[in-house]
């Protein structure tokens, strides 16, 4: 049974038919609706909140402010909760940023709650706020956690730069970016005595349960978190934000279910953003292109509440072979909303700077950009001296160049045209770590031959239901249509968060192991049964196919249903926690890719259009071709967006995002993206896990922005180092 073939999603019908229930879709009796009240200053404290008029509106049930909010027994001290515990929970009158949740209006209808929230008047005592990143550079500081993140080095960077024939020293910047999943954040909270039911579109429901248990002082087993479908998360739904805590608090105070759904503008303040970065990249090389030194000094903005390190410098530490290497990260604390992980955190921003710098170095040396990368190809991870579990990047370069037609590129900028348009071709390297963690799953073979697969993981739009069903199908030899998968429920075996491209490698490994245990239980039952055609067969000669167990060398065999019927007609199940094998510690585990972009630029108006994009990736085995290619394509499109469109604009006077909606926060649409040619080598990496599969969710972004930036330079001769590349930047000095 070849389960790697493209498979349509097993949950496709319910989604297309509108039957899939997302976070805000669950109807509960006596539901009430909450609308958050947000601060309008960047720093200070609340002096008074006038709620009298709002409270008198017909249908208003309660206005909750720091003055009357439920006091939480414990704000959390667990190491995993230190950042989550810093979010505002109406426990004091302090204002940390503009747009902070400072109250909530609860009403019988959403419309009344919206009107009531708008009627609340707030008096503040303001304090001077620092919201300007460039000004804040003067007072940056090392990350609190320190270690290699703050400062990393090997070799003598100064000496190697001094003996370099060519030294490139440039600064690259990326703007704040906001998570904008199709489904906004939403929470429904319902208490029954001392038990809490929570509907939460989360990337980590087990963590949500832990947080709520701690903050509200109840056992974890008293809390059930449900989120069977998540309409995109990109990292933003991997944390707990103020609205969720406030919904639980309000439901407790009213003893009725409370729903709080964020609108699009609130998603720019209540949740989080990818931080702004400023990266100074220094490369030293010989005249023939051998890298002698690589340095990347990174500055990142953070909020006063959560110090998240966008470790953009780590890409520079090992992607290319260089004896001397140094990176540093410094934090710029601003009185703005929290920053958080966003799809390919660190690698997305870091690859833009490094891969643009590599293109600049190639231009100075008059070396083909791909040849420069091949010259400095790293067979081992220089940060730890370990070999890679698998690295087929060289194959990605060569296959990608052939598919794209890289040999047809004239290396001289502004020489390629198609009619009136300037044509540019650029390329870059993609890389992202391959992670595994401990996760559990249950697999149950029912007497009728159907299978249940369950894990407290998440379907965040990536095809988790389908891929987990495929893994069980492959092991058990049972058709996909006979397999039911359930996720998004804390009553299921626990799983790690759905981020870091972890799910297939981690939860998939648990499903694989549990299905194997179930199969072996049935195999042993058949071998022991004198009535079975498999009686006394060697276990290793039995294969599972088409709902049956058969001897591999003959047609002798029987169905699962027949074997289970003779064994009492009871289900056979196994629950397994899969952990990374200690043997993996001998290797460095990463995925890689080579990406190529062709763009067209109007020489009069300098508008940029991506005509073609090619990406070839080494991800180990790809379990589902359709879902995997879609994930890589989506990531590449996000990288194109990063290069040309995306960026939050901060009003530094007031600390507020001024383009906080999808009409002004620009994202590409279908007309902005040309031909996408995405493929994988599909070579299993069995050193990484038994399936040979690594994650793909984030690998598509790294390198994509740089490929577009490099193509723009090739077309125009203008090197833009500050993203996004907007028309005004290309017109400057035109």
CA–CA distance, 650 with 667 (Å, rounded to integer): 17
Q: Which of 247, 263, 250 is nearest to 62 (CA)?
A: 250
The residue ranges of DSSP E strands in 581-681, in sequence order, are 590-601, 608-618, 650-651, 656-657, 673-680
Quickly count: other Cβ atoms within 10 Å of residue 195's Cβ. Answer: 13
| CB contact burial 19-37 (16+ within 10 A = b; e otherwise) | ebbbbbebeeeeebbbbbb
> Strand, coil or helix: what is 269?
coil
* Residue 176 tokens, joined: 């704040």
The yes-or-no answer on residue 80 being catalytic is no
The residue ranges of DSSP E strands in 146-201, in sequence order, are 151-154, 166-174, 177-178, 186-192, 195-199
DSSP symbol at 109 = S
Q: Which of 621, 626, 680 is nearest to 6 (CA)?
A: 626
Active-site hit among 183, 200, 474, 698: 698
Strand 324-333 relative to strand 151-154, pairing: antiparallel
DSSP symbol at 659 = -
Distances (CA, A) of 5 to 330, 474, 629: 46, 12, 12
Backbone φ and ψ of 2, nearest 5°: -90, 95
Per the listing, tokens 């400023």 go with: 278
CA–CA distance, 438 with 273 (Å, rounded to integer): 28
Quickly count: other Cβ atoms within 10 Å of residue 48's Cβ. Answer: 13
CA–CA distance, 224 with 212 (Å, rounded to integer): 10
Q: Known catalytic residues?
A: 698
């Amino acid at each position: 049974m070849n389960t790697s073939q493209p498979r349509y999603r097993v949950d496709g019908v319910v989604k297309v038919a509108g039957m899939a229930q997302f976070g805000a879709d669950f109807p509960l009796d006596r539901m009430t609706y909450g609308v958050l009240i947000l601060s309008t200053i960047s720093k200070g404290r609340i002096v008074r909140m006038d709620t009298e008029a709002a409270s008198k509106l017909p249908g208003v049930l309660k206005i909750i402010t720091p003055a009357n909010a439920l006091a939480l027994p414990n704000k959390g001290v667990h190491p995993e909760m230190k950042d989550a515990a810093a979010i505002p929970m109406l426990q004091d009158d302090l204002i940390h940023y503009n747009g902070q949740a400072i109250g909530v209006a609860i009403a019988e209808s959403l419309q009344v709650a919206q009107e009531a929230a708008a009627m609340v008047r707030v008096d503040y005592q303001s304090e001077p706020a620092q919201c300007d990143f460039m000004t804040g550079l003067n007072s940056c500081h090392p990350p609190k956690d320190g270690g290699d993140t703050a400062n990393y080095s090997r070799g003598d960077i100064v000496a190697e730069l001094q003996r370099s024939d060519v030294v490139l020293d440039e600064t690259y910047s990326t703007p704040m970016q906001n998570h904008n999943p199709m489904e906004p954040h939403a929470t429904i909270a319902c208490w029954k005595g001392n038990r809490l039911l929570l509907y939460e579109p989360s990337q980590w429901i087990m963590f949500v349960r832990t947080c709520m248990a701690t903050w509200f002082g109840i056992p974890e087993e008293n809390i059930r978190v449900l989120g069977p479908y998540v309409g995109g998360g990109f990292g933003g739904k991997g944390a707990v934000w103020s609205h969720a805590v406030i919904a639980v608090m309000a439901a407790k105070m009213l003893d009725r279910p409370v729903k709080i759904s964020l609108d699009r503008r609130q998603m720019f303040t209540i949740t989080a953003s990818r931080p702004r970065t400023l990266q100074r990249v220094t490369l030293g090389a010989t005249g023939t292109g051998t890298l002698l030194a690589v340095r990347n000094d990174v500055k990142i903005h953070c909020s006063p509440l959560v110090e998240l390190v966008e470790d953009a410098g780590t890409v520079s530490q090992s992607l290319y072979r260089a004896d001397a290497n140094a990176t540093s990260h410094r934090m710029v604390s601003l009185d703005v909303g929290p920053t958080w992980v966003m799809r390919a955190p660190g690698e997305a921003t870091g690859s833009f700077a490094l891969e643009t710098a590599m293109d600049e170095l190639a231009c100075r040396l008059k070396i083909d950009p791909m040849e420069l990368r091949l010259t400095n190809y790293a067979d081992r991870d220089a940060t730890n001296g370990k070999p890679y579990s698998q690295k087929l990047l060289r194959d990605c370069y060569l296959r990608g160049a052939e598919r794209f037609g890289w040999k047809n590129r004239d290396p001289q900028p502004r020489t390629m045209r198609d009619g009136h348009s300037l044509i540019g071709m650029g390329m870059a390297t993609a890389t992202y770590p391959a992670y595994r963690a401990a996760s559990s799953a249950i697999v149950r073979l029912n007497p009728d031959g159907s299978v249940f697969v369950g894990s407290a993981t998440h379907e965040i739009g990536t095809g988790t239901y389908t891929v987990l069903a495929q893994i069980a199908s492959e092991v058990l030899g049972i058709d996909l249509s006979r397999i039911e998968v359930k996720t998004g429920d804390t009553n299921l075996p626990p799983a790690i968060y759905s981020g870091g491209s972890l799910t297939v490698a981690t939860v998939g490994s648990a499903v694989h192991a549990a299905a194997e245990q179930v199969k072996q239980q049935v195999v042993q039952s058949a071998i022991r049964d004198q009535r079975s055609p498999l009686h006394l067969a060697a276990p290793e000669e039995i294969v599972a196919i088409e709902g049956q167990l058969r001897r591999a060398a003959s047609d002798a065999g029987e169905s699962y249903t027949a074997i289970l019927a003779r064994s009492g007609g009871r289900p056979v199940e196994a629950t397994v926690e899969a952990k990374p094998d200690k043997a993996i510690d001998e290797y460095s585990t990463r995925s890689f890719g080579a990406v190529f972009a062709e763009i067209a630029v109007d020489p009069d108006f300098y508008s940029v259009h991506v005509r073609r994009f090619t990406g070839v990736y080494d991800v180990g085995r790809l379990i589902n071709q359709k879902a995997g290619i879609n994930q890589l394509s989506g990531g590449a499109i996000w990288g194109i967006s990063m290069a040309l469109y995306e960026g939050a604009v901060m009003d530094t006077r007031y600390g507020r995002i001024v383009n906080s909606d999808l009409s002004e926060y620009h994202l590409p649409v279908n007309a902005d993206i040309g031909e996408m040619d995405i493929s994988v080598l599909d070579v299993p990496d069995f050193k990484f896990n038994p399936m040979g599969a690594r994650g793909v969710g984030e690998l598509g972004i790294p390198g994509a922005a740089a490929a577009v930036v490099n193509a723009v330079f090739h077309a125009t001769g203008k090197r833009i180092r500050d993203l996004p590349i907007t028309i005004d930047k290309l017109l400057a000095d035109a």
